[in-house]
Amino acid sequence: MTRSRAHDPNVCGVTAAIAVIDGKWKTALLWTLENGPRRPGEMRRMLPGLTEKVLTQALREMEEDGLVLREVHDVRPLKTVYSLTEFGRDLCAALAPLSDWGHRRLDGMAARVPAETAVRKGS
C-alpha cells in the first residue's frame, strides 16, 4: 500500500501541503469556510459549478487530512455542518500570502494585455 504525498514524512513540505489542497475546489472550499461554519448546500450555492458528488468527495478528503470538522446534528432532517479545524485555519493563514501573490500576478497580466494589444495594432 502506498502512502499519499500528503501523509508521507519523506517528501518536501511544500509538496505535502500542495497534496492537501490539490484539486479544483479545495482552496475555494477553504475560502468559504474561513468566515464560519457552512452547510453543504450553502457551499454549493457559493461555488457555481461544484457538483454534490465532488463537494462530498473533497470534504471527505479535507476531513481525513484534518482540515475540516464535520458535525451532524440529530434533528429531522439531519443537519450537517462543516467548519475549519485549527489546522485548517493555519493552512488558510499560510495560503494568504500566496493568494496575495496570485492577485498581484493577475493584476500585472491584466495591465500588460492592453499594452500588448496596442503594440500589435501599431505594427
Q: Is 79 exposed, middle or buried (0-12, 13-18, 19+ CB in 10 A)?
A: exposed
Which pLDDT score is estimated for 1?
Answer: 30
Question: Considering the chain, what is the average pLDDT of its residues?
Answer: 88
For the chain, the domains span 13-122
Tens of pLDDT along 43-72?
999 999 999 999 999 999 999 999 999 999
Q: Nearest to residue 89, comparing CAs of 68, 70, 72? A: 68
Which CATH fold topology does 13-122 show?
Arc Repressor Mutant, subunit A (1.10.10)
Mean pLDDT in residue range 76-86: 94
pTM: 0.78
Cβ distance 38 to 32 under 8 Å? yes
Confidence of residue 11 (pLDDT cuts 50, 70, 90): confident
Mean pLDDT in residue range 62-87: 94
Confidence of residue 6 (pLDDT cuts 50, 70, 90): low
